[in-house]
Structure 1
Amino acid sequence: METAGKILRRSVHTFLLNYQYFTSTAALIALPFSASVLISQALRPSSSALWATVYNRLHSLFNAAGFPPSLEFFNILNHKLSQTITSSVFTFPFSLTFLLITKSFVIQTLSRHQKPNSSSHPSFLSTISLYTPLLHTHVYNSFFILSANATVFSILFIAFNVLEGSGFSSPNTLLFLSASGAVLYSIVLANALIICNLALVLSGTQNSGGYLAILKACLLIRGRTSTALSLALPVSLTLAAVESLFQYRLLRAYHFTGQIGSSMAMEGVFIAYLYSILVVLDTTVSFLFLQSCKPSSRGIEYRDDEESCGDLKAVKVLP
């Protein structure tokens, strides 16, 4: 199993080898999705009716579940969840189209480079053929993320109610449990996002999607969680930095002047283009991480099994 640093270096090297194609085709296709993400992050909660509706619903749900309303942890969590849900709803159409097509282009390009006697870049029709399995996996990924959130909230609900029923409801105990819940939620959500990202790449390489891709991703990531987190952290921090740059350069100026000039608009397009390049690089990192997992699968072997799974890949656990 390669280290995270080596996979990152290989990813950057592979990206530079395909720099012209990735920056002129894949990044431009991802540009509408990137712009939607940046704009959704820029929406003010006070001016969004959807955000207010989601916030009030979550607040009522937390109160009905018996969570202590005085804890700042649940207020912060409610606020961040409302922002995330609002942003996801706003960007969902762009995710289903531009993001998945971009990932199809990148996966198809990287797969062709590993095959002899193949053209360097895929055709548009061959790339679109990967869209359907990616779409199926993306839909199942959404349910998987919802299930991960529901699981964490159920654990927190049980923990808070058990402590309250046992008489351990002091402020220090609740503060400790809130901090533990925040750590648990971050770990579970990070692993769920990594599995979903890997499942999309699996769908593209095997041309088959759905819930089986998520199950295979869970098998592949066993024993490699630390490497996957080490790979996801730099990309996530860089994406967050680009979002902060967009808010600082454009939103800050817009709040002062109250208008958007041509220079500000061009700067916004450039920042969205940088975000698109990072999306392409993130897909490249996930693809090379998947390739590094397969040879050293620690007892897991992939084989074609047309009788049992049709076009899908069956998983055989070696003794």
Structure 2
Amino acid sequence: MLLCESAMEDTSRTQATTIMRRSIYTFLQNYHYFTATSAALAFPYALSVLVSQFFVPLSPLLPPIHSHLRAVFMAAEFPPSSNFFTVLSFKISQTVSSSIFALPFTLSFFLLSKASIIHLFKHNSPSSFSSISSLYKPLFSTFICNFLLLLAANSTAFSILFFGYHFVNGFGFSLSPNWLTFMSATGAVVYSMIVANAIIVCNLALVSSGMENSGGYLAILKSCVLIKGRTLTALALAVPGNLALAAIEALFHYRIVVRAYGYRSGGDFSGFSLALEGVLIAYLYSIFVVLDTVVSSMFFKSCKTGCLVDREGRYCYKIEIVAEKDGNAYVMLKNIEEFP
């Protein structure tokens, strides 16, 4: 059993490395298109996400969201002394406030940037704005369904943490600091796993909606089937991109936000150089947003053309998405062969 799991991890790591190398090669092959068209479309979204670091701490939305979330945690009788729930409530409040601030740019420039990349993978040629806008409707409907899926994933994670805490609390372990630390660490792992898998499905669903011209919940169902047996590969592909985006956000915070507050306090900083550096960091952020979409598109193509072997290593399945004349689509798993 351990050898099988080790073999699966090695296979997932190899697949992730291959997909990443192909994605970088494709990005460099179409460097001018991705950096000029796709990155330019993603730039307002990237700038809004980074600039939200200025306004979120001063936003009137943050205190009520944080207070309501803390009230929910207190009503659920989560331990108030746990640093995990304190940090979690604050980070979720920040994320919600930042998402609300960047929502207009997300629904416009972000989706159009993704549409430009998906169109290139779909037709193997650069696209005009009219052809890009034709993919906007399925991407938009899928984005709305993704929002509901992420909301459900967070609710599920909180429910699991709620029942887990009260189950342990029933045995009287909650008074021990060691048990509180153990529960916080376990809760962080469980919450991260649930939300990470939901984000992976949402990213693949956006690519699927553009490739298949079918948005909404159907794209999410397709992505759930496509990702079957490839969860480790998807996680290995998602982690580097998210770490890079988080690093750029931290770079913007320390290079721009902190210096800007110092400038307002009378520090010796040039406003023009500060703004120019902020624009360059935002453009770098948009480049990585484009590269993340390229990786997701390459992963989607790999899932469509690849086969899946079950955990016991006996059967091989091929994924087929069949589109009927009535506009409905059906996801099928075809048994190719049985291994001895």
Superposition TM-score, scaled by structure 1 size: 0.93
2:289 corresponds to 1:282:
no
State the Cα distance separating 1:127 from its structure 2 match: 1.2
2:110 corresponds to 1:99:
yes
Equivalent residue for 2:22, pick from 7, 10, 35: 10
Moved over 4 A (4+): none
Distance between the aligned counterparts of 1:260 and 1:165, measured in 2? Answer: 59
1:116 paired residue number: none
Distance 1:109 1:305, change over 3 A: closer
Equivalent residue for 2:216, pick from 196, 205, 210: 210
1:145 paired residue number: 150
Farther off after superposition, 250-259 or 134-143 = 250-259
Distance between the aligned counterparts of 1:260 and 1:154, measured in 2? Answer: 50
CA contact (8 A) 2:201 2:223 kept: yes
Distance between the aligned counterparts of 2:83 and 2:270, measured in 1? Answer: 36
2:100 corresponds to 1:89:
yes
State the Cα distance separating 1:3 from its structure 2 match: 1.1
1:272 paired residue number: 282
Distance between the aligned counterparts of 1:25 and 1:146, measured in 2? Answer: 32
2:6 paired residue number: none
Equivalent residue of 1:316, what SS?
strand
Distance 1:176 1:206, change over 3 A: same
1:58 paired residue number: 69
CA contact (8 A) 1:194 1:232 kept: yes
Distance between the aligned counterparts of 1:311 and 1:42, measured in 2? Answer: 46
What do the CA deviations read for 1:43-96 (whole angstroms, capped 9, x no partner)?
Answer: 353x22111110000011111111111212111111111111111111111111
Total equivalences in the alignment: 310
Q: Which amino acid aligns with 1:250?
A: I
Distance between the aligned counterparts of 1:312 and 1:41, measured in 2? Answer: 43
* Aligned positions of 1:295-310 closer than 5 A: 295-298=305-308, 299-307=317-325, 310=326
2:264 corresponds to 1:253:
no
CA contact (8 A) 1:100 1:135 kept: yes
2:167 corresponds to 1:162:
yes
State the Cα distance separating 1:17 from its structure 2 match: 0.9
What are structure 1's unaligned runs of at least 5 residues? 114-119
What do the CA deviations read for 1:286-316 (whole angstroms, capped 9, x no partner)?
Answer: 0000111112232243243315xx3343111
What do the CA deviations read for 1:187-214 (whole angstroms, capped 9, x no partner)?
Answer: 1111111110000000000011001111
2:139 corresponds to 1:134:
yes
1:117 paired residue number: none
CA contact (8 A) 1:300 1:315 kept: no
State the Cα distance separating 1:229 from its structure 2 match: 0.9
Distance between the aligned counterparts of 2:328 and 2:206, measured in 1? Answer: 14
Higher relative contact order (CA 8 A, sep 6+): 1
Superposition TM-score, scaled by structure 2 size: 0.87
* Aligned positions of 1:27-46 closer than 5 A: 27-43=39-55, 45=57
Distance between the aligned counterparts of 1:153 and 1:303, measured in 2? Answer: 34
Q: Percent identity?
A: 50
What are structure 2's unaligned runs of at least 5 residues? 1-10, 309-316, 336-340
Equivalent residue for 1:228, pick from 228, 231, 234: 234
RMSD: 1.5
CA contact (8 A) 2:138 2:215 kept: yes
Equivalent residue for 1:262, pick from 272, 280, 287: 272
State the Cα distance separating 1:252 from its structure 2 match: 2.1
CA contact (8 A) 1:302 1:313 kept: no
